[in-house]
Amino acid sequence: MEYIVFIITAIVAIIGAAAMLMSRNAVHSALFMLLNFSSIAVLYLLLRAPFLFAVQLIVYAGAIIVLFLFVVMLLGAERAEDEADKLAWQRPVALVMGLVLLAEAVYVFFLRTGAAMATGVAGDEAFGAPLKIGEALFTTYLLPFEITSVILLAALIGVVVLHQPALKNKLVLPGERGTGNGD
Could you say which residues in the range 90-119 bind other proteins, by CB under 8 A?
Answer: 90-91, 94-95, 97-99, 101-102, 105-106, 109-110, 113, 116-119
Contacts 24+ apart (CB under 8 A), 55-63: 61/34, 61/37
Cβ distance to other proteins smaller for residue 77 or 175: 77
Distance in Å, CB of 177 to other proteins, minimum: 18
Smallest gap, in angstroms, from Cβ of residue 138 to other proteins?
11
CB of 83 to other proteins, least distance (A): 8
Query: CA 20 → CA 49, 55, 89, 115, 176, distances in Å?
Result: 26, 22, 22, 35, 45
Q: How far apart are CA 127 and CA 49, in angstroms?
A: 9
Of these, 143, 174, 175, 181, which contacts other proteins (CB under 8 A)? Answer: 181
Residue 127 lies near other proteins (rule: CB under 8 A): yes
Q: Cα–chain-centroid distance for residue 151? A: 17
Is 66 an interacting residue with respect to other proteins (CB under 8 A)? Answer: no
- Cβ–Cβ contacts within 10 Å for residue 182, how many? 8
CA 124 to chain centroid, in Å, comes to 30
Closest CA to 35 of 75, 70, 8: 8
| CA-based nearest residue to 37, from 10, 22, 57, 18 | 57
Contacts (CB under 8 A) with other proteins, residues 25-64 = 26, 29-30, 33, 36-37, 40, 43-44, 46-49, 51-52, 55-56, 59-60, 63-64
To the nearest whole angstrom, how small is the minimum distance from the Cβ of residue 91 to other proteins?
A: 5
Minimum separation from the CB atom of position 68 to other proteins (A): 7
Q: Is position 179 an interface residue for other proteins (rule: CB under 8 A)?
A: no
73 binds other proteins (CB under 8 A): no
Regarding 138 and contact with other proteins (CB under 8 A), the answer is: no
Distance CA 160, CA 163 (A): 5
